[in-house]
Structure 1
Amino acid sequence: MYETKSTREKFRLFIFIMMPILITQFGLFGMNLVDTMMSGRAGASELAGVAIGSSIWLPVSTGIMGIMMALPPILSQHIGAKEEDVVSMKVIQGAYLAVALSLVILAAGAFTLNPIIGLMELEPQVAQVAKHYLIGLSFGILPLFIQQALRGFIDSLGHTRVTMVITLLALPVNVVLNYVLIFGHFGFPELGGIGAGYASAVTYWFILFITIYFVAKVTPFREYRIFRTSYRVLPGIWKEILFIGLPIGCTIFFETSIFAAVTLLMSEFSTAVIAAHQAALNFASLLYMLPLSIAFALTIVVGHEVGAGRYSHARSYAKLGMLTALAMGVAASIIIYATRGPVIFLYTTDSTVAEWMNVFLIYAIFFQLSDAIATPIQGILRGHKDVNIPFLYAFIAFWIIGLPLGIVLARFSALGPFGYWVGLIAALAVIASTLAVRLRNIQNKKEKLHPERV
């Protein structure tokens, strides 16, 4: 990161940081995409089972990774303020915290997995796939969360291309493992959708080892000597990370868990509906990587400028990021509408699933513009370390407004399963509008407190 003078320089630096993040997010999501697509090819029950398993796992994993997202703004502000001496120590404390959170999740899963699966009225084959998909995936929880802490360090230095390279190296590994374990090639057993869980776990270990190599051996990361000092656990640093990370994690949890809750509520409908819903949501989530990547980049650049006291520069980056996100949101809407047919074929050859999925994809178009506003603003606010109020907004929008509305429409209107999607769309619209007001208030406050820096 470096100080920029003109809007053109800012846009160039922003794109330079954002594009590798975008490719990284597409790559990471591509693993889930491969799981879903290949499982769909193995059968509707396999796809539905992976859908249920993913819906249980997604809010948990993204919530924990949201906690780790506290590291980029924390480290970015230290780097922007030239306080390099504390960076190494906080990275290691983040890794320690990741280990602790992993153990908590594994322990909780051991006691709750069977009851959760049992509460759903699933066909036996679907329940079997969902349960054992999650068991396989659990072997990759520890490396996944540790790697997120190390990724926060890499990204906070502005070297987002390194994360991109790591992800691109892992993607073909994941594809091959899915092919081998789902369909039973090269002497391995045919595990169906269950194999996708084990494939993801092995891939997460691969990603961690590659990340450790870069941090330990490659400039400029090795100059921080991350692994050369033995730090004891420092509860004060954990508290700092959790103070920022817990609201971020909870915000993401509330957003992703409502999608998971909808998928679980879909269990009242047929296996074809569950499969179509998950496939359509999977593709829409792929396009969500556009605003999400912009949000990650905005957290980095805004965090640097806030740390350096350049508040006018932070506002300029915010404007650039929002305009870029809106343009991409429109493009994503067009992509969904124009490619529905080929996309459906990639997920399923079942005609019933295809019919349902076609309609779900039309509803998915309405997600795009709300996401293009809400998600980047969350990234900007994180750069300011403003995380508590957005957390409250997310809870109200998704759980007080969106989910109840979806349940009413799904059960007491002609919309049926599509009613849940209308509730989701309403929730996204609410959080987009409230966060926009919040950002304006934060920027006005900065202007009053630091007029000489505006």
Structure 2
Amino acid sequence: MKKTIGYKQKARQFFAVLLPIFITQLSLMATGFFNTVMAGHISQQDLAGVAVGVNLFLPFFGAFLGIISGLTPTISQLYGAGKREKIGFIVKQGFYWALTLAVLFIGAGWLLVPYILPLLALEPRVEYITQHYLMAVSAGIVPIFLAAVLRNFIDAHGRTRLTMLITMTTVPVNIALNYVFMYGHFGLPAFGGIGAGVGSAIAFTLNLLLNVLAVTHCEPFQSYHVFRSLPRPDFAEWRKQLGVGIPIGSTMFCEQSIFGAVGLFMTAYGTVIVAAHQAAMNFTTIVYMIPLAVSMTLTILVGYEVGAKRYADAQQYIRLSRVLTMLFVGTLALILTQFKSEIASLYTSSAEVQPILAGFLVYAVFMQVSDSINAPLQGALRGYKDVHVTFLLAVLSFWVIGLPLGWGLANYTSWGPYGYWLGLIGGILAGAVLLIVRLRQVQARFKA
């Protein structure tokens, strides 16, 4: 990254950072897309089992990775300020506390999942698939958490193309492994939906190996020597980094857990609704990659400019991103609404699931238009390292406004399961308004 003058240069640098992030996130979502499609063509039970497993796993998984992502604004600000000597130390400490988080994550899962699943009153086959999917994927948690430290280290320098190449290598391997284990090839038994967990765990390990190769053989990362002379754990530094990371992870948990909670509420409507809802949620997650990539790009660029004390430049990046995100997502939404039936047929061959899925997809598009306002604002605030108030606003918009509104519409109106989607859309829009107010306050403080 470098200093830029005017919107033209900023647009160039913005896209140079954005496009690899977008391709990386889209590649990651491709795994979920193919898992959902492959499970849907095995059976409704496999699709529902993977759906429940993902809804239980992703909120906590995303939250813990969100904690680790707190390294990005810290490192990007240090990089912008020219304080390279501090960066290597922070990355080395990140290995320690990321490993601790991984152990806590696995331990909590093995202890709690056997007690949670019976409460959901799932079909026996669906419950079996869910439990064993989660057991399989847990084998890859330690590698992917350590890989996340290295990925944030690389991204914070603006070298997002490198992490894109790593992801584009591992994702096809992940999809191929999932296909082999789910359908049974090369003499292996067909594990069904459980095979998706096995393939993902192996791919997570490969991701770590490739990140290690990148930072030990590519500049400027090689010069940091992050695997040489590891210092003792510095708990004061842990507290400082976790003070940034935990609010970010908690915000991500608020966002992802509400989708998981809605997915679990959908179990009351039967396997067909669960399958349709999960497929629609998978689709909306793919579309969400545009505002998410913008959000991650803003965290890097705003952090870099704030570290260099160029606050006006940071504001210009924010304005640029908001216009581009609305333009891209709005255009995409108009196109996709015309092909909802065709998209539904990609996910499942079930005549029962397809029409319900097509209905959910309409709501999914409106949700992503709302997210195109919300997500860039969050990324900008993280670039300023303003994370505590953002977390509180996420709790308010998703859990105080969105979920209660959706539950009320689902249970006390004729909207039924579609009411939950309306509640989510309302919560996201409320959050966007609150984030706009907060961003103006933070910008005014930095100006002063």
TM-score by length of 1: 0.97
Give me the whole-angstrom Cα distance separating, in 2, the residues matched to 1:332 and 1:56.
29
Give me the whole-angstrom Cα distance separating, in 2, the residues matched to 1:77 and 1:3.
13
Give me the whole-angstrom Cα distance separating, in 2, the residues matched to 1:279 and 1:369.
19
Give me the whole-angstrom Cα distance separating, in 2, the residues matched to 1:241 and 1:445.
23
Q: Which residue is equivalent to 1:184? A: 184
Could you say what the CA RMSD is over the residues aligned between the two structures, in angstroms?
0.9
Cα pair 1:64 1:249 within 8 Å, conserved: yes
Deviation at 1:329, TM superposition (A): 1.9
SS at match of 1:290: helix
Q: Which residue is equivalent to 2:305? A: 305
Q: Which residue is equivalent to 2:208? A: 208
Q: Which residue is equivalent to 2:27? A: 27
Q: Aligned residues, how many?
A: 448
Deviation at 1:270, TM superposition (A): 1.4
Q: Which residue is equivalent to 1:452? A: none
Query: In the alignment, is residue 94 of structure 1 matched against residue 116 of structure 2?
Result: no
User: Pairwise mapping of residues 30-429 of structure 1 onto structure 2 (< 5 A)?
Assistant: 30-429=30-429
Deviation at 1:321, TM superposition (A): 1.1
Q: Which residue is equivalent to 2:433? A: 433
Give me the whole-angstrom Cα distance separating, in 2, the residues matched to 1:420 and 1:408.
8
User: Residue type matched to 2:86 in 1?
Assistant: V
User: Residue type matched to 1:162 in 2?
Assistant: L
Deviation at 1:338, TM superposition (A): 2.5
Give me the whole-angstrom Cα distance separating, in 2, the residues matched to 1:145 and 1:327.
34
Deviation at 1:233, TM superposition (A): 0.7
Give me the whole-angstrom Cα distance separating, in 1, the residues matched to 2:291 and 2:337.
18
Deviation at 1:335, TM superposition (A): 3.6
Deviation at 1:212, TM superposition (A): 0.4
User: Residue type matched to 2:386 in 1?
Assistant: D
Give me the whole-angstrom Cα distance separating, in 2, the residues matched to 1:40 and 1:335.
25
Deviation at 1:332, TM superposition (A): 3.0
Deviation at 1:344, TM superposition (A): 1.1
Cα pair 2:21 2:164 within 8 Å, conserved: yes
Give me the whole-angstrom Cα distance separating, in 1, the residues matched to 2:377 and 2:170.
30
SS at match of 1:137: helix
Deviation at 1:241, TM superposition (A): 1.2
SS at match of 2:288: helix
Give me the whole-angstrom Cα distance separating, in 2, the residues matched to 1:206 and 1:64.
20
SS at match of 1:125: helix
Cα pair 2:341 2:355 within 8 Å, conserved: no
Deviation at 1:139, TM superposition (A): 0.4
Cα pair 1:332 1:368 within 8 Å, conserved: no
Deviates further, 365-374 or 336-345 = 336-345
Give me the whole-angstrom Cα distance separating, in 2, the residues matched to 1:7 and 1:417.
44
SS at match of 2:153: helix
Deviation at 1:195, TM superposition (A): 0.3
User: Residue type matched to 2:134 in 1?
Assistant: L
SS at match of 2:415: coil
Deviation at 1:381, TM superposition (A): 0.3
Give me the whole-angstrom Cα distance separating, in 2, the residues matched to 1:124 and 1:218.
50
Cα pair 1:409 1:416 within 8 Å, conserved: yes
Give me the whole-angstrom Cα distance separating, in 2, the residues matched to 1:140 and 1:41.
26
Deviation at 1:352, TM superposition (A): 0.7
Give me the whole-angstrom Cα distance separating, in 2, the residues matched to 1:161 and 1:154.
9
Cα pair 1:329 1:371 within 8 Å, conserved: no
Give me the whole-angstrom Cα distance separating, in 2, the residues matched to 1:135 and 1:331.
40
Give me the whole-angstrom Cα distance separating, in 1, the residues matched to 2:234 and 2:108.
24
User: Residue type matched to 2:283 in 1?
Assistant: F
Deviation at 1:205, TM superposition (A): 0.3
SS at match of 1:153: helix
Q: Which residue is equivalent to 2:9? A: 9
TM-score by length of 2: 0.99
Gaps of 5+ in 2: none
